[in-house]
């Protein structure tokens, strides 16, 4: 719609309508104001359909033309929205422009302020520099006179001080009792600073000597006054047995039992007594530790000799004696300490034993197949003690941490054969093995080994069971020279079998064994280069090749 003073005209397609007045134009012109969202949306859908038909009817329409056509339809339908968006953008731009303009104004103001500050500060420093320069010039012009005046003043003051100090001293007194004369108060004060260490060595306690409170000074004048050195002052004060100090008494039910040098020391002794009767232990969580008696700390004035050594005081309260008790002496503590604690501890539960029968083993053979393992139970209990002795225990909870595992043994059921020679021979090792050395001459494998090998070496794992080659009687079981641990079995008829280098012997001399009984374990005792059993067979005292007795 265009506006030209009195005339209103509207273009709609190819038709031009001219109105006589503005009122008539406003009356006759189509009004789009007041449309709601739904009507505008319906008009948008309708316009898009018409635009789509229009685009299809065009012989050629580029993507830009399509976008322009659809955009006009969208803009016409939602014109208020686009108008509001433009106004909001203009408003935001104006706000940001004004804000930036104001910020620049503030920045310029701050810069001008700093320039003025630095200007006036520089002017002040320059003025001060000029005055100092004038003073320097004046001093340089009159330096001789100034030095003479300064030297005269220093010499006069020094001579006066020397004269006064040489003719005066300080008499120091302890609670009105004169002790000696010191050159200066400072000598006495410095000595008292060292006095604490000396008194601590003599009394076994930390002593704080208050010079301002306990020492009085009186100035004396004269010529040739005899004054005490710092060592004299220290000795005088140290060996005063009646020196007054402030102490802190530990009282039990109102009765003083020990006097300490500081309240912190008294508190530490009370805490140590509690810990003595309720010591810290793993798994113990104390909920209460208390005295049956009333314990208090009181400030008292005592002589130095009445102060207690902290260790003696604690021992006296705990046992009733300042000395260590003998084994036959019973303690007599001055206090009764009640304690309650939540105690957490683990307790083992016993495991069972199971036997598995094995027909391949003899009746007297029992072999551990699986080790037993005790179970663990975690117990939480409330424990009450009096002076460290348990008087009650109430179990609160019992939690199983792990179940017990039964031990399993293999027990033979095979009938035990005769315990005498049968004339047949069983190989002494049933596990995997290799023969590492044969019967007869050999090169000694290590120092001390024989070159005339009287048996065979059967190498296998350490601890492998060794079996009796035949039934018989054990005639030797012990250590013998290069053999290490050795077992000899007599089988009758002049035959013997020898088993050397064992790690363990499971039979004893005189015991009758049957063929196949476990008599020991493979080891490397004696002269040996590794775990094996040295096996010999003797006939009437002569070693024979053991392999001759086996079909191999």
- Decide: 526 and 500 in contact? Cβ < 8 Å: yes
Domains of the chain, by residue range, sit at: 166-240, 247-335, 342-410, 417-549
Q: Evaluate if residue 430 carries a pLDDT over 80.
A: yes
Q: Evaluate if residue 469 carries a pLDDT over 80.
A: yes
Looking at residue 241, its pLDDT comes to: 56
Best-predicted range by mean pLDDT among 84-88, 210-214, 515-519?
515-519
Q: Evaluate if residue 519 carries a pLDDT over 90.
A: yes
Domain at 342-410: CATH code: 2.20.230.10
- Reading the block at residue 530, the tokens are 């590794």
CA 469 vs CA 207, 232, 334, 490, 514: distances in Å: 87, 98, 76, 11, 9
Looking at residue 9, its pLDDT comes to: 46
Mean pLDDT, residues 376-390: 94
Looking at residue 166, its pLDDT comes to: 67
Mean pLDDT, residues 276-286: 93
Looking at residue 5, its pLDDT comes to: 45
Q: Evaluate if residue 448 carries a pLDDT over 80.
A: no
| Position 13 confidence tier, pLDDT thresholds 50, 70, 90 | very low
Query: pLDDT tens-digit profile of 164-182?
Result: 666 778 887 776 677 788 8
| Average pLDDT score over the chain | 84
Q: Evaluate if residue 240 carries a pLDDT over 70.
A: no
Query: pLDDT tens-digit profile of 188-237?
Result: 777 777 666 665 555 544 455 666 777 888 888 776 677 777 777 777 77
Taking the C-alpha atoms of 271, 276, 282 and 284 in order, what is their torsion angle to the nearest 10 degrees?
Answer: -70
Q: Evaluate if residue 1 carries a pLDDT over 50.
A: no
Mean pLDDT, residues 20-26: 57
Q: Evaluate if residue 251 carries a pLDDT over 80.
A: yes
Percent of the chain with pLDDT over 70: 86
- Nearest Cα neighbor of 456 from 498, 494, 484, 502 is 498
SS (H, E, C) 190-223: HHHHHHHHHHHHHHCCCCCCCHHHHEEEEEEECC
Identify the architecture of domain 417-549 in CATH.
Answer: Distorted Sandwich (2.70)
Looking at residue 115, its pLDDT comes to: 92
- Nearest Cα neighbor of 172 from 159, 191, 153, 156 is 191
Pairwise pLDDT comparison (137 vs 195), residue with the higher score: 137
Pairwise pLDDT comparison (357 vs 190), residue with the higher score: 357
Pairwise pLDDT comparison (192 vs 506), residue with the higher score: 506
Q: Evaluate if residue 501 carries a pLDDT over 80.
A: yes
Q: Evaluate if residue 31 carries a pLDDT over 50.
A: no
Q: Evaluate if residue 463 carries a pLDDT over 70.
A: yes
Mean pLDDT, residues 430-443: 89
Cα torsion 116, 119, 125, 127: sign: negative
Cβ-proximal residues to 228 (8 Å cutoff; 6+ apart), any chain:
180, 181, 182, 187, 236
């Amino acid at each position: 719609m265009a506006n030209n003073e009195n005339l209103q005209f509207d273009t709609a397609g190819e038709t031009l309508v001219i109105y006589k007045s503005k009122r008539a134009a406003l009356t006759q012109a189509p009004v789009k104001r007041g449309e709601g969202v739904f009507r505008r949306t319906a008009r948008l859908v309708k316009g898009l359909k018409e635009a789509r038909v229009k685009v299809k009817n065009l012989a050629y329409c580029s993507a830009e033309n399509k976008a322009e056509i659809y955009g006009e339809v969208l803009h016409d339908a939602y014109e208020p929205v686009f108008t509001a968006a433009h106004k909001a953008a203009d408003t935001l731009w104006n706000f940001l422009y004004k804000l930036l303009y104001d910020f620049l104004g503030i920045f310029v103001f701050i810069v001008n302020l700093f320039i003025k500050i630095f200007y006036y500060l520089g002017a002040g420093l320059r003025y001060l520099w000029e005055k100092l320069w004038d003073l320097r010039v004046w001093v340089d012009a009159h330096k001789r006179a100034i030095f003479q005046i300064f030297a005269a003043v220093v010499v006069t003051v020094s001579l006066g001080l020397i004269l006064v100090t040489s003719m005066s001293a300080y008499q120091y007194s302890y609670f009105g009792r004169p002790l000696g004369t010191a050159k200066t108060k400072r000598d006495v004060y410095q000595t008292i600073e060292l006095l604490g260490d000396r008194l601590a060595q003599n009394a076994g306690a930390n002593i704080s000597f208050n010079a301002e409170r306990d020492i009085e000074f009186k100035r004396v004048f004269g010529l040739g006054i005899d004054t005490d050195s710092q060592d004299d002052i220290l000795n005088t004060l140290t060996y005063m047995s009646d020196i007054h100090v402030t102490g802190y008494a530990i009282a039990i039910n109102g009765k003083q039992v020990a006097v300490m040098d500081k309240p912190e020391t008294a508190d530490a002794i009370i805490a140590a007594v509690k810990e003595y009767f309720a010591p810290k232990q793993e798994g113990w969580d104390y909920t209460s530790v208390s005295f049956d008696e009333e314990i208090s700390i009181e400030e008292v004035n005592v002589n130095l000799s009445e102060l207690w050594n902290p260790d003696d005081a604690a021992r006296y309260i705990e046992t009733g004696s300042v000395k260590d008790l003998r084994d036959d002496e019973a303690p007599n503590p001055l206090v009764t300490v009640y304690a309650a604690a939540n105690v957490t501890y683990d307790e083992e539960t016993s495991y069972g034993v199971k036997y598995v029968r094995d027909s391949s083993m003899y009746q007297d053979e029992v072999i551990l197949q699986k080790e037993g393992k005790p179970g663990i139970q975690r117990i939480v209990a409330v424990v009450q003690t009096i002076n460290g002795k348990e008087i009650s225990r109430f179990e609160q909870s019992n939690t199983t941490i792990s179940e017990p595992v039964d031990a399993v043994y293999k027990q033979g059921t095979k009938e035990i054969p005769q315990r005498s020679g049968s004339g047949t021979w069983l190989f002494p090792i049933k596990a995997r093995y290799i023969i590492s050395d044969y019967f007869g001459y050999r090169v000694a494998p290590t120092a001390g080994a024989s070159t005339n090998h009287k048996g065979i070496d059967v190498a296998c794992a350490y601890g492998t069971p060794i079996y009796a080659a035949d039934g018989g009687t054990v005639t030797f079981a012990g250590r013998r020279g290069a053999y290490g641990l050795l077992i000899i079995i007599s089988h009758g008829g002049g035959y013997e079998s020898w088993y050397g280098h064992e790690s363990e012997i499971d039979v004893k001399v005189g015991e009758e064994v049957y063929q196949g009984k476990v008599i020991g374990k493979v080891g490397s005792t004696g002269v040996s280069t590794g775990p094996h059993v040295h096996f010999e067979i003797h006939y009437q005292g002569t070693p024979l090749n053991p392999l001759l007795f086996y079909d191999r």
